[in-house]
Structure 1
Amino acid sequence: MTLLLLKLTLAPLLVVGSSLAGRRWGARVAGMMVAFPVVAGPILVIVALEHGARFGARAAAASLLGLVSLAVFAVVLAYAGRHRRWPAALVVSWAATVGADVLLARVEIGVGWAFALILGVVWVAHRCVAAIGSKAGPAGGAVPRPPWWDLPARAAATVVMVLSVTGIAARAGPVVAGVLAPFPVASSVVAGFVLAQQGAAAAVRMLAGLMQGLVGFAVFCGLAAVLLEPFGVAGAFAVAVAGALITQVGLAVPRRGAQPSQPGRTRPAS
């Protein structure tokens, strides 16, 4: 019952919280927040509790490779969002993500190599999203006031996606479960609503923030993979969450002399 409650509360709360943060500080901040492993974390905890620390460590290591699929999702959605309406853009992005997942499920490499790989992939994906954003143009005017049902609809969509993904992961092996753990559940909901309500330029900014936040996600998965067997489930995930939080906060601190972005406005090109 506790694990079911985690599935039904953590991810929707993340989506609602990141959506509210996006309204206050802009789409990029929402992207960074939604990258925090609130969906993948409970999946990996469930896997480790049900199948043991060794199984969980393998799943966490595979999750690092799963972040490659999340980067693919962001790049494809950024491009498709400029040329298709939001339902088609999401479907194309999910298809690309599943295709990447199928390929990655066949790959097993060490945690160190996987961590280095995802850092390189995130760097390339961030540059691709930035290039797409330069062609999408600036955001147009003020952000429209969302309807009253906006946040409940986001939370409900998140619950449906979480139950679907965790249901598949629970029946799969450690590699498949790990690769599926970072499936873009919360990011799909937030990006889809941003694309539908604010347009492609705002969605690209959100996805750029997502790419930045994936570094903390990678730290979480890497620490869990290395520490699960020696530290146990509670100790390993406590350290992994702390590491992800420290990384996210460090990346969120603006560079000296940088001006914080504001909703409905764009920063001048450097």
Structure 2
Amino acid sequence: MPVTLLLKLLLAPALVVGSSLAGRRWGAQVTGVLVTLPIVAGPILLITCLEHGTAFGAEAAASSLLGLVTLALFAVVFAWCSRRLRWLGALAVAWAACLAADLLVAQVTLPAWWGLPVALAGIAVASRVMPPEAAVTGARPATAWPWWDLPGRAAATAALVVLVTTLSSALGPAMTGVLAPFPIATSVVAAFVLARHGSAETVRTLRGVLAGLVGFAVFCFTVAVSVDRWGVATAFSLALIVTMAGQFAWLRVSRSARPPRWRFSRAASAARRRG
């Protein structure tokens, strides 16, 4: 079996399952950040470079920056829909918005040096227009994850990777790059969080997604500007190191800056006693 076929079938699904398990351990916002590591787009871009050359891969990586804008749009649409719709309806509306935006931005070609600020601006705007967490209601009691959750995530991821990379010659580098960040892992996580915990937790998760997209953008930019010059191994290693360092630094800062819940509980109890 060719090495690239093994990468298509195994690499991205294994990364999605691993990040899903880690997210279950550390909570909703961490889950949102983990699923926006380049666990699907990274393998797609890697396979694209191996199959079509570094020039094709560099252009696809630059287009992926515009795909991150549509991924941010998906997060915003799903978050707002979660206030009124169940997971299937929210997913249908958000996917429709994302696909329409993908078709639109695929017509635009920007060099990576312009694509990066456009992606960061899109992420910033999306963060500003997310529903306010305090205004979101409808939390539901948690239920056990179904047995088919992780296999379903792995299968959906493998299907996307195989589809995009197999059709990449026909799609061209622009559409390949735009589709690389398509929210497969994000969709599964958001849908299950909405079904299990309700809208408030869904919004928190998708806020984590938007925070994680900054590191994702850095990954795509690094690959775009370096792969044709330094080669696949060096470019992807450098991009992965920079992205992982940035993501986990952000996680460390955000978790240390958030006061533990027990402090709020004790403060609230003291206030009630004084009242």
Give, in angstroms, the shift of residue 109 of structure 1. Answer: 1.9
Give, in angstroms, the shift of residue 12 of structure 1. Answer: 2.5
> What are the within-5 Å matches in structure 2 for residues 110-129 of structure 1?
110-129=111-130
* C-alpha distance in 2 between matches for 1:235 and 1:146: 39
- Contact 1:18–1:34 at 8 Å: present in 2 too? yes
* Deviations, residues 24-59 of structure 1 (Å, cap 9, x unaligned): 221110010000111111111122122211111111
> What are the within-5 Å matches in structure 2 for residues 52-201 of structure 1?
52-129=53-130, 131-137=131-137, 139-140=139-140, 143-201=142-200
* C-alpha distance in 1 between matches for 2:133 and 2:11: 30
Identify the residue that residue 246 of structure 1 maps to in structure 2: 245
TM-score, normalised by the number of residues in structure 1 = 0.88
CA RMSD, Structure 1 to Structure 2 (Å): 2.3
Q: Rate the CA distance shift 1:168–1:188 in 2: closer, same or farther, 3 A.
A: farther
- Contact 2:193–2:201 at 8 Å: present in 1 too? yes
* C-alpha distance in 2 between matches for 1:192 and 1:11: 20
Q: Structure 1 unaligned runs (5+)?
A: none
* C-alpha distance in 2 between matches for 1:69 and 1:33: 18
Q: Rate the CA distance shift 1:52–1:15 in 2: closer, same or farther, 3 A.
A: closer
* C-alpha distance in 2 between matches for 1:204 and 1:170: 37
1:137 counterpart SS class? coil
- For 1:33, give the aligned amino acid: L
2:109 counterpart SS class? coil
* C-alpha distance in 2 between matches for 1:60 and 1:147: 35
* Deviations, residues 173-197 of structure 1 (Å, cap 9, x unaligned): 1111111111111111211222222
TM-score, normalised by the number of residues in structure 2 = 0.87
* C-alpha distance in 2 between matches for 1:19 and 1:153: 12
- Contact 1:63–1:221 at 8 Å: present in 2 too? yes
* Deviations, residues 184-223 of structure 1 (Å, cap 9, x unaligned): 1111121122222222222111111110110110000000
- For 1:89, give the aligned amino acid: A
Give, in angstroms, the shift of residue 261 of structure 1. Answer: 7.2
Which deviates more from structure 2 when the two are superposed, residues 17-26 or residues 62-71? 17-26
* C-alpha distance in 2 between matches for 1:6 and 1:261: 42
- Contact 1:7–1:159 at 8 Å: present in 2 too? yes
* C-alpha distance in 2 between matches for 1:24 and 1:139: 20
- Contact 1:136–1:201 at 8 Å: present in 2 too? yes
Aligned length: 262
- Contact 1:82–1:200 at 8 Å: present in 2 too? yes
